[in-house]
Amino acid sequence: MSLKLPRLLCQKGEFGELALELKRPEWERLSGQELLLTEDGGAPKQRTLLKAGWDEAYLRLLFFAEDSHPWATLNERDAPLYTEEVVEAFLDPVGDLGAYFEIEVNPNNAVLDLCVRKIRSGYRKDFRWRCAGLRTIAGVVNGGWMAEWAIPFASISGRPPVAGDCWRANFTRIDRPADVPRELSAWSPTGFAQFHIPERFGFLEFC
């Protein structure tokens, strides 16, 4: 795949309580990242905007998913959210691609979190892992649905980053419109109809 791996400058700030408000000053000052079709880097039929920032305790993420019919039926923790509509984050704080964390949130604000580790035959998913202290809010809004997350550094990297630290990461969406094929989009397209290709993770740089 010829697409260059993207780099996102993740700015430090004060983000306050989770509120699902894209127009809040703390989010408006940050540039948004458009997700692309993961197979070829094209434009999705329904766009997804991602914004990322951080404070002393949390990585803060905000997703706006344009959607003419947002839906979800699952509400339980660690239900198979990927079978419906969902946004996801893949985070490798070490950056060696030997292991990474995956967190998913659907329009009902249900959460799926797991750790993926490299083994001799590929990768093994550990659904026992919990992102302790994770805070999320999600719901249907005008024009689609939104999700806002506060991911505690204590559960991901063990300490807050310092300016210049860089993680490997990807941010993705599964969109399942009615009566048409699903659409997979990603901040860093993988070249395939799947997201679990850590070599295609982009660079999340804290500043």
Residue 10 counted as domain residue: no
Residue 4 lies in a domain: no
Question: Has residue 11 been placed in a domain?
Answer: no
91 in any annotated domain: yes
C-alpha–C-alpha distance, residues 89 and 131, integer Å: 12
For position 121, what pLDDT does the model report? 86
Specify the CATH number for the domain of residue 202.
2.60.40.1190
Give the length of the chain: 207
Q: How many structural domains compose the chain?
A: 1
Give how far the C-alpha of residue 179 lies from the chain's centroid of Cα atoms, to the nearest Å. 26
Q: Distance (Å, rounded) from C-alpha 178 to C-alpha 67?
A: 11
Q: How far is the CA of 199 from the CAs of 3, 15, 100, 170, in angstroms?
A: 12, 31, 12, 10
Q: Is the pTM of this model over 0.95?
A: yes
Residue by residue, pLDDT tens for the chain (207 residues) are 568 999 999 999 999 999 999 999 999 999 999 999 999 999 999 999 999 999 999 999 999 999 999 999 999 999 999 999 999 999 999 999 999 999 999 999 999 999 999 898 888 999 999 999 999 999 999 999 999 999 999 999 999 999 999 999 999 999 999 889 999 999 999 999 999 999 999 999 999
Domain span at residue 133? 21-206
In a domain, 194, yes or no: yes
pLDDT at position 3: 80
What was the pLDDT predicted at 1?
52
